[in-house]
Amino acid sequence: MTVVTSKMSRRSRKKEAIRSQIIAAAIELFSQHGISGVTVDQIAEAADVGKGTIYNYFQTKEDIVVAFMAAFEGKVQAKLRDVGTSQSPLAEVLTEFIRLQLRMKKRYHPFVRVFLGQMFLHTDQFLPHMAKIQKTMDPQLQELLRDLQQRGAIRPDINVSDLIVVFKTVQLGLTALWAIEGPPFTATERTLVQEIRLLCEGLEVKQR
């Protein structure tokens, strides 16, 4: 019984290694040539696997993008737990929430730029894929905003579901600016602080 379990474990690790290899090769190519400018044959060659192997793991190139973004967001969310437990003022917590996400995306700046460009140009095509990515982001954000509301940092009459939509819209705009601007992202940082400050003016409990 132990031998069978070990074999299954090795098989699973090998499959995961191949999957990661495909994703890494694809993201590198997408960063250089755009998603539409890369073929499955090119991904297979870069990943050193057969074309059929690609389709064993992903049906489309967009599925590779979703897999990468979902895995990356999962890593980001793990880092954001420390932000959620902070007792800092509301504006500082929300600013750091977005700042940390952008900091972790810095390594993949060329890809994020390509991805956003494709998303804005082909919105209808990318909407289903974006919905999958959002599922990995929403729980942590919802938990953060509810915790902030429960400790009195956000007005109790504000609907958290509505606030999530507003916050993600602000976040998307800032990410687009970050992608367009590039290093050292000084305008993005300045705009981030200003936009979150304005947002928080409408969210905070007014002192009488």
Report pLDDT for 85.
61
Cut 0.75: pTM above it: yes
Strand positions, DSSP E, the chain: none
CATH superfamily of the 61-208 domain: Tetracycline Repressor, domain 2 (1.10.357.10)
- Among candidate residues 106, 102, 114, 132, the one with its CA nearest the CA of residue 28: 114
Provide CATH 1.10.357.10 ranges for the chain. Answer: 61-208
Provide CATH 1.10.10.60 ranges for the chain. Answer: 1-59
CATH superfamily of the 1-59 domain: Homeodomain-like (1.10.10.60)
Q: Which residues of 90-107 are buried (b: 16+ CB within 10 A; e: fewer)?
A: bbbbbbbbbbebbeebee
- Among candidate residues 204, 182, 97, 102, the one with its CA nearest the CA of residue 140: 97
Distance in angstroms (rounded) separating the CA atoms of residues 142 and 116: 24
What's the sign of the alpha-carbon dihedral 91, 93, 97, 100?
positive
Positions of the chain with pLDDT under 50: 1-4
Distance in angstroms (rounded) separating the CA atoms of residues 104 and 133: 16
Report pLDDT for 8.
58
Q: Measured at the alpha carbon of residue 52, what is the angle toward residues 51 and 56, in degrees to the nearest 5?
A: 120
